Amino acid sequence: MRSGNETGAGSATDAAQHAGGQAVEHGAEHAEEGFDAGANILHHILDANEIEVPFTAIKIPLPELHLGSVDLSITKHVVMMWVSVVILLVLFRLAVRRSKDPVPSGLRNAIEVLIVFIRDDVARKSIGPHADRFVGYLLTTFFFILTCNLLGLIPGMATATGNISVTAALALVAFLVIQTGGIREFGVVQHFKNLVPGGLPLWLIPIMFALELLSMFIKPFALCIRLFANMMAGHVVILAFISLIFILNQVWYVVFAPAVAFALFVHLLELLVAFLQAYIFTMLTAQFIGMSVHPAH
């Protein structure tokens, strides 16, 4: 038989082991319920059927519509595109009101600078004498992409151009405009003949035609992926820096200042990227149109 001291020591040891086991289990549960940076980033960059009101827990559900097996639901990115259209209509309406002023100023002056730049330095230099017939489309593309890009930098908003479905639709429209321009200029048969430059050996013509035909689809695909990847990547980097604060919550005071500083820097860089990506998409589209209406022979 054990003495009273041995019994007390054994009970204390058992209690300590039991308490330690509970602490380990609690720690494991806490780790499982911890901050998930990946899920948080995906939550902010992916499309959704609701809109979250910033700095609150309020979520506004959006209508879900289905036509057979086709999903026509109104999503967050669809709403952002509608908002972009409304903003552009309002801004251009305000600018037009000042169209009779002898000297442009304010909003009208800022918009005219961009319009003249796209017309003279992008469309006319890339397409040539018939560029003005494409200026309306190029301006619409530039301002729409720019507005969608900038909206994503506002808290509570989302970047529609960070959705590959949106960029794919923009690239599809660009593809149709590019091919329509060439067909209008030369006709259907000659347009496809222009894919192959003259003076090639007969055996090389089928190979070059297949490559150039493939290139017709690669060009808009590149437009789609470039815009989507660049706009999504910037937001992922910003969210990753902010997530560091919550991942390293035990030493948040060490990483808080650097994480916020880097996130702010990337956010400011995104302002430049928003303009740059709108310009690149528009400029490359104009160049592809120019290659279609002025093929190399």
Mean pLDDT is lowest, of 30-34, 123-127, 144-148, 198-202, for 30-34
Shortest CA distance to 136 belongs to which of 191, 100, 90, 177? 177
Mean pLDDT is lowest, of 74-83, 177-186, 260-269, for 260-269
Give the pLDDT score at 2.
45
- Alpha-carbon span 294 to 216, nearest angstrom: 15
Q: What confidence tens digit (pLDDT) does each residue in 24-82 have?
A: 344 334 434 566 777 777 777 788 888 888 777 788 888 888 888 888 888 999 999 99
Give the pLDDT score at 73.
86
Whether the Cβ atoms of residue 58 and residue 52 lie closer than 8 Å to each other: yes
Close Cβ partners of 150 (under 8 Å, ≥ 6 residues apart): 271, 274
Close Cβ partners of 267 (under 8 Å, ≥ 6 residues apart): 153, 238
Structure-block tokens of residue 170: 């923009």
Structure-block tokens of residue 244: 């560091």
Structure-block tokens of residue 269: 């860089």
Segment 3-26 shows an average pLDDT of 43
- Alpha-carbon span 46 to 44, nearest angstrom: 6
Whether the Cβ atoms of residue 281 and residue 145 lie closer than 8 Å to each other: yes
The domain limits of the chain are 63-293
- Alpha-carbon span 148 to 162, nearest angstrom: 9
Is the model's pLDDT at 15 over the cut of 80? Answer: no
Is the model's pLDDT at 5 over the cut of 50? Answer: no
**Alpha-carbon torsion angle 225, 231, 233, 239, nearest 10:** -150
Residue found under tokens 């559900």: 61
